Structures are given as C-alpha cells and as structure tokens.
Amino acid sequence: MPDQPAVLIAAASGRALAQSARQGGYLPLVADFFADQDTAALAHDHVRIEDGLARGMDEDGLLAAFEALARSRRPIGAVCGTGFEDRPGLLARIGERWRLLGNDPQIVARVKDPRAFATLCRDCAIPHPETVASLPLDAAGWLAKRKGGAGGSHIARAIVQNPANDEFYFQRTTPGVPVSALFLADGRRAMTLGFSTQWASPTPRRPFRYGGAVRPAALAPALASTLADAVDRLLQAIPLVGLNSADFLVDGDEFRLLEINPRPGATLDVFAPAEGSLFALHVAACEGKLNSAPLRFEGACAAAIVYAERDIAAVPAVRWPDWTADRPHSGTAIKAGEPLCSVKSVAATAAAARAGADERLAMVLAMVLDWTHARMS
C-alpha cells in the first residue's frame, strides 16, 4: 500500500479537519489551540499553539509549529481553517514555504474587507445589509462588528460610544434566520453541498456567540435554488477555491448575504457525507477538480458547542460519551465562557436532531456540576 500523503492543518480547533482528512486517506499534521484528546488521536503529529484563544493565530508560533510537524513527513500542502480570517499576511507567509490548499491570501483579504465585500455584493446584485465605517448618530438598529472576526463573539449591539477605527465596522440589523450554504469551488464554478441553520449561544457581553448548526435547513426548493444562484454569481466575480460557506439571513422569501467564510469551517461535522470525505473534495477542488456528483447525507444532523459556565480548575479523568467531540485532556484548566467540548446528534428530522443536541449539551453541563460537587465533598 503506498504511503498516505501528509498534509499540514491549522485551525482554532483542528479535530474536524483531521477527522475528515483521515477519512480521505491523508495523514493530518495538526496545529491548533486546544490539543484535545480526539484531535491528538486523529493526528499523525500535533503541536498546540499556546495562548491561542487569547492571541489568535500567532505568526511565529504557527510557522515554528509547521516546521516541527513537517520534519518527519513531506506534506503536500497546508489547509487552514478557522482563525485566519483577519490574517491574510500569515497565509502569505505559509504560502512562501508550503503549497496553500485553500484560497489565495488576496482573495481572503478581499472577501473579509467589509467595504470591498459590500461592493462585491452590489456588483453581483446580491442583497446585503447596509454597512458603514462610521456609526450614525442614532445607534439604534446597528451592530458593531470586528473586521475579520469569526464565531459571532466579535459582534455586539452598537452604542454611541463605539469609536470609528480600522478594527470595527457597523452594519444595520436585518431580520431573519441564520442559514449557511456550504459549497465547493474550483475558481470558476461553485457546487452548493447543502444548507444548515445556525443558532447563537448568547451571553450578556456576547449576544451573537456561535452555538451550533443543524442540517438540513428548512428552505423551500425555490429559495434554496435562489441562494445557490447567489453563490454561483459570486464565483463569476471572485475565484474562490475549495470548501467555503456563505452566511445568509433568511426572512420568508427574502434574504441578505452577511459574509463569505473562505475556508472549511464550523459545519464540517453536520455535513459529513455517508461516503467519502469533505477534506478530499476540498483538496481536489483546490486543484481544479470539482466533483459534479451530489453528496449523499443520511437523515439530519446537529452539532453544538458546550461552553463552560464557570471556571474549571482541572478537567477530571472521565469517560466522555461517544456523542461528544473536542474532548479536553484530564487536568486541562478551562475558564468560564471558553469551549469545553462539542456534542453531536443524528435524527430523522432537523427538529429532532436539534432537540437531541440541546439535550446532550445539558447532560454535559450537568456532568460538570457533578465534578464540582465531587471536588467539594
């Protein structure tokens, strides 16, 4: 049997990419913020990026991690997931050393620049919320967003005191349900794989923090076709490659495109196909080979992030349920508000899958309370 090709993977959490890479016949060499149990088990080799949650993708730390990971194998390239939206310069540095299996840094910079993206939507006749660099005198009905932010934690209700600077921009609030389209692209064409509905896990300071997603989204066929057509029009204007997602707000028959995420992202788990590997399809699409056969997904699937509700001084040695993922090692300290793990639920309908994910999330939080009581007794 020939050697499996090795590939470098970097993301805030690399587990889903590593899992899909394994399914596609690749050896994952992973750098991420958490070094969770299942990530380490899936990775051929792994390096944790220290203080990643606080500092983001540190250029020196990540490049050193990639150099260390590449010593034992000769990787065919690097796949970069969540964590690079505001770091096209880092993507460029990676591309100087390894082949980027993903979007060009200039493309990432363009789609994550609020003004350029608003212009792109206007030119493609795609509805997009009103977006401005300076907050109007009346802040009601406006959101403050950090440029290049991801996961919803960077979004807040705008207030008059919000300064106008290069780090933030402002967007008029728009009614609707968050719906995300996962699509493959080869630089010329797009193939929409499916739609998911997303929800928030709000806190007083982070009202739009990402909570989870469920597939399939409840969309009428005509509206689904309209959203897929919007993605197709974007590909005529900007040469995206690989796995990407388009985030919409859907209100009845109307929609607004909020943003493009130019990388594999949070919905990998809910779109795991019955056969094959999204990671393998991503690599092929980056090489100009767009799979034309529709993927088959079984039933409905939901995945949610469990955030710690209080500080956890040290995660105890426990047997995690099979339906959990991103499981921290025993002894890991987790601060209140940080991700603890994720849960997944498969069912016949989207409503049942979402209910199952909610129930399992509550079960994990109850388990954490048991840890607290055991430590105090």
Nearest Cα to Cα of residue 201 among 84, 338, 300, 312: 338
Contact, 143 vs 170, CB < 8 A? yes
Residues 161 and 219 in one domain: yes
Is there a single domain that holds both residue 168 and residue 193?
yes
Domain boundary among 262, 286, 310: 286
- With CA atoms as reference, report the closest residue to 117 among 311, 259, 270: 259
Q: Tokens representing 268?
A: 């990998």
The whole domain housing 338 covers 302-376
Q: Say if residue 349 is in the same domain as residue 319.
A: yes
3-state secondary structure of 67: helix
Measured CA to CA, the distance from residue 128 to residue 249 in angstroms comes to: 9
Residue 141 clears pLDDT 80, i.e. is over it: yes
Number of domains composing the chain: 3
Domain identity same for 252 and 309: no
Regarding whether 79 and 177 lie in a shared domain, the answer is no
Tokens 């040695």 correspond to: 317
288 close to 187: Cβ distance less than 8 angstroms:
yes
User: Residues 94, 113: one domain?
Assistant: no
User: Has residue 296 been placed in a domain?
Assistant: no
- Core vs surface per residue 147-162: b (16+ CB within 10 A) or e: bbbbbbbbbbebeeeb
* Residues 343, 304 contacting (CB under 8 angstroms): yes
Where do the H-state alpha helices sit in the chain?
15-23, 37-42, 52-55, 59-70, 88-97, 105-112, 114-123, 221-237, 278-286, 350-376
In a domain, 350, yes or no: yes
Q: Is residue 344 part of a domain?
A: yes
**Digit-coded pLDDT (tens) for 295-343:** 889 999 999 999 999 999 999 999 999 999 999 999 999 999 999 999 9
Is residue 349 classed as helix, strand or coil in its secondary structure?
coil
Q: What is the CA radius of gyration of the chain?
A: 20
| Residue the block writes with tokens 């919320």 | 129
Is residue 134 a part of any domain in this protein?
Answer: yes
Angle between helices 88-97 and 105-112 (to 10 degrees): 170
| Per-residue model confidence (pLDDT) at position 1 | 41
Predicted confidence (pLDDT) per residue in 142-193, tens digit? 998 988 877 777 888 888 655 556 788 999 999 999 999 999 999 999 999 9
Rounded to a whole number of angstroms, the distance between the first and last alpha carbons of the chain is 55
Mean per-residue pLDDT for 257-265?
95
Give the DSSP letter string of 202-224.
--SS-TT-EEEEEES----HHHH
The DSSP symbol for 83 reads: T
Query: What's the confidence (pLDDT) of residue 152?
Result: 77
In a domain, 42, yes or no: yes
Q: What is the CATH number of the domain that holds 96?
A: 3.40.50.20
Residue 348 DSSP SS3: coil
Q: What is the pLDDT of residue 146?
A: 87
- Does the residue 297 lie in any domain? no
Same domain, 73 and 179: no
Same domain, 89 and 41: yes
For residues 292 and 350, give the distance between their C-alpha atoms in angstroms, rounded to a whole number.
26
pLDDT in tens, 97-126: 999 999 999 999 999 999 999 999 999 999
* C-alpha closest to that of 185 among 271, 255, 87, 107: 107
How far is residue 361 from each of residues 328, 356, 364, measured CA to CA in Å? 15, 9, 5
From 77, 101, 125, the end of a domain falls on 101
**Torsion sign, CA atoms 115, 109, 200, 196:** positive
The answer to the question of residue 294 being in a domain is no
The CATH number of the domain where 195 resides is what?
3.30.470.20
Q: Which residues pair with 146 in a beta bridge?
A: 168
Which residue's entry shows tokens 């060009």?
A: 104
Tokens representing residue 242 in the block: 């690989």
Query: In this structure, are 67 and 134 located in the same domain?
Result: no
Are 38 and 79 contained in the same domain?
yes
Instruction: Say whether pTM exceeds 0.75.
Output: yes
Give the whole-angstrom CA distance, residue 347 versus residue 355.
9
Same domain, 184 and 143: yes
Average pLDDT over residues 373-377: 64
Domain boundary among 101, 117, 138: 101
> Both 114 and 231 in a single domain?
yes
